[in-house]
Amino acid sequence: MQRRKLLASSLLLPLGWGQAQLHAADHRSGGRFLLVFLRGGYDAASLLVPVSSSFYYASRPDIAIAKPSDDLASALPLTSDWGLHPALRDSLYPLYKSGELAFVPFAGTDDLSRSHFETQDSIERGLPADAHGRYNSGFLNRLAGVVQGCSAMAFTDQLPTIFQGALNIPNAGLKSIAKPSVDARQSAVIASMYQGTPLAATVQEGFSVRAEVQRELAAEMEAASRNAISAKGFELEARRIAKLMREDYQLGFVDVGGWDTHVGQGAATGYLASRFDELGRGLAAFAQEMGAAWKDTTVLVLSEFGRTFRQNGNRGTDHGHGSVYWVLGGSVRGGRVVGEQVALERANLLQDRDYPVRNGYRELLGGLLQRQYGLSAAQLEQVFPGARPRDLGLL
Does the pLDDT of residue 143 top 90, yes or no? yes
For the chain, give the percent of residues with pLDDT over 70. Answer: 78
pLDDT for position 187: 61
Q: Determine the average pLDDT of the residues in 302-317.
A: 98
The type of residue at 17 is W
Q: Which of 231, 235, 277 is nearest to 40 (CA)?
A: 231
pLDDT for position 388: 95
**pLDDT digits over 324-343, tens only?**
999 999 999 999 999 999 99
Whether the CB-CB separation of 54 and 319 falls below 8 Å is answered with: no
Q: For residue 133, name the pLDDT band (cuts at 50, 70, 90).
A: low
Q: For residue 199, name the pLDDT band (cuts at 50, 70, 90).
A: low
Q: Where are the beta strands (DSSP E) in the chain?
A: 32-38, 48-49, 76-77, 83-84, 101-108, 152-154, 229-230, 251-257, 297-303, 323-329, 336-337, 359-360
For the chain, give the percent of residues with pLDDT over 90. Answer: 73
Whether the CB-CB separation of 300 and 326 falls below 8 Å is answered with: yes
Query: Mapping DSSP to helix (H, G, I), strand (E, B) and coil, where does residue 54 land?
Result: helix
How far apart (Å, rounded) are the C-alpha atoms in residues 156 and 60? 35
Whether the CB-CB separation of 42 and 304 falls below 8 Å is answered with: no
DSSP 237: H
Say how many CA atoms lie within 13 Å of 8 toward its Cβ. 21
Q: Which of 126, 134, 138, 141 is nearest to 23 (CA)?
A: 141
Q: What number of other Cβ atoms are within 10 A of residue 106's Cβ?
A: 24
DSSP 163: G
